[in-house]
Amino acid sequence: MKIPLERIPILIGEHGRVKKRIEDKTNTKIEIEGTSVTVEGEPMGEWIAKDTVLAIGRGFNPEIAFGLFDENNTLEVINLKDIANSENEITRLKGRIIGEGGRGRKTIEEITGTSISVYGKSIGIIGAYDDVATAKEAIGMLVGGARHASVYKFLERSRSRFRGI
């Protein structure tokens, strides 16, 4: 897989600690050549390592990406190039998702218990499967033009349903 060149030092980490931690936790071997990253190991470990590498490549802090070592967590990546027709539209959509002063993204994260990264031309979401699905739906609503207040109400209703309130 490929990750942006500026994310390679983060993937490696100081003294190779991030790369080594991924390899140790997933029982895999990671090779980095330029922007290409190869992961080899047992299928399940390889899958988790690839998602962790992808998450770091998509702008997540390694400590957040390490949350993928928990089998209850998942990574979802929304490619804005699949939704938008131009660079200007991608920029506008990213702004809607982030919200003024980052409040939009932060509110979605707090209500759903997920972590969201808006990086390059993609949106990454890490968290428990149902929470990621809810956050993805909220982001889809924002991308579709829904008002932030409407999205927050949707999230509050979803949170109430999950908690049985």
Q: Which residue has the higher pLDDT, 25 or 159?
A: 25
In this prediction, residue 165 carries a pLDDT of 45
Q: How confident is the model at residue 160 (pLDDT cuts 50, 70, 90)?
A: low
In the chain, the domains with their CATH numbers are: 5-69 (3.30.1370.10), 73-163 (3.30.1370.10)
C-alpha–C-alpha distance, residues 24 and 29, integer Å: 9
The mean per-residue pLDDT over the stretch 27-56 comes to 96
In this prediction, residue 163 carries a pLDDT of 55
Answer whether 124's CB lies under 8 Å from 58's CB: yes
In this prediction, residue 158 carries a pLDDT of 85
Q: Is 38 helix (H, G, I), strand (E, B) or coil?
A: strand
Give tens-digit pLDDT for 51-97: 999 999 999 999 999 999 999 999 999 999 999 889 999 999 999 99
In this prediction, residue 58 carries a pLDDT of 96
Stated pTM of the model:
0.92
Start-to-end C-alpha separation, the chain: 43
Give tens-digit pLDDT for 102-157: 999 999 999 999 999 999 999 999 999 999 999 999 999 999 999 999 999 999 88
- Cβ-Cβ contacts under 8 Å for 55 (sequence gap 6 or more): 64, 65, 68, 75, 117, 124, 126
In this prediction, residue 81 carries a pLDDT of 92
